[in-house]
Structure 1
Amino acid sequence: MDEVSRETKSIVDKVLKDVGKASAAKQLVIGTVSGWCTGFVTMKVGKAAAVAVGGGIILLQIANHKGYLKINWDKVHKEVDKLADKVEEKATGDGPKFLDKMERLVDRNIDKAEELLKNKQRKAKRWYHSFIGDEDYFQVQEIHIFLASFVLGFSVGIVTAS
């Protein structure tokens, strides 16, 4: 592997030295063509990666919504906090402050309380509509908003990349 790396480096060095000695027109053409090729390949790889990641997120969200998998968000948040603390310590030299940790804790607890209230509100709406006999009541859920926004973002991405 090391030998391939050296050979590639020597080829690139030779090409760059040859291009540097060429005329300005030749340098412009080579620079433009190589830049276009790089951009084209990057867009194709980027689109494929975006579709793969986006599709995976949608499948995971649908599986979570349907109850096929259950995510322990408390454990995920703890691991993310540990990782964020390590990154902050490496970047700034100081660890996270006590107030930062308290802010995260309060923010998560507020999110849990908000979710609990939303669930109670959904139950109240279901009870009300079953009470009045409106069984065809459509309930917008978070998965619907997520899917609609993903489709919109995906469409805008395709239009702007074309």
Structure 2
Amino acid sequence: MGESHIDVVKKGCEMFQKCEDMIRKLALFSSNETKEDISTNNLKYLLVPYYLAELTEKIIQDDRIPIVKASYAKLKFFSFCEAMELVPNEELEASSRGGSGALADRRALKIARFKRQKAAEAKLLEIKERKERRERSTKASALSTPVESEEEDIPDDDSE
């Protein structure tokens, strides 16, 4: 018999909670660090608090305290990201301004982010194509070996 959706979500919460406890015990992240200080291998653990809060909010409960705690955990996560300098300054400024201009700012930021992403993807594709051309060229030069040709004296038919 299969597990219900809620059981799977609860099991996910338990796993993320264990992971978060291990991250804390190992002190993988410090409040005085920035993104440059984080080991590449540890980057994946940055999102654990966020996902834990997301899953906790999905569990339907009569008691609102866990949901409030999950929301607080998200807020702490966003503050942590800000402290680690993971959020671009433009987005921080737009977020802090709020008001009616915030929607236009948010849209402009999304467009700018989309353009940066497309430019990065285009650059990556260009690098990949260049690498493939280089590999084909290297392969072709390795396969072609100098062939010695002997010229035969073939008489011209013009001398009739």
Fold agreement, TM-score > 0.5: no
Higher relative contact order (CA 8 A, sep 6+): 2
Bigger CA radius of gyration: 2
In the superposition, the TM-score normalised over structure 2's length comes to 0.31
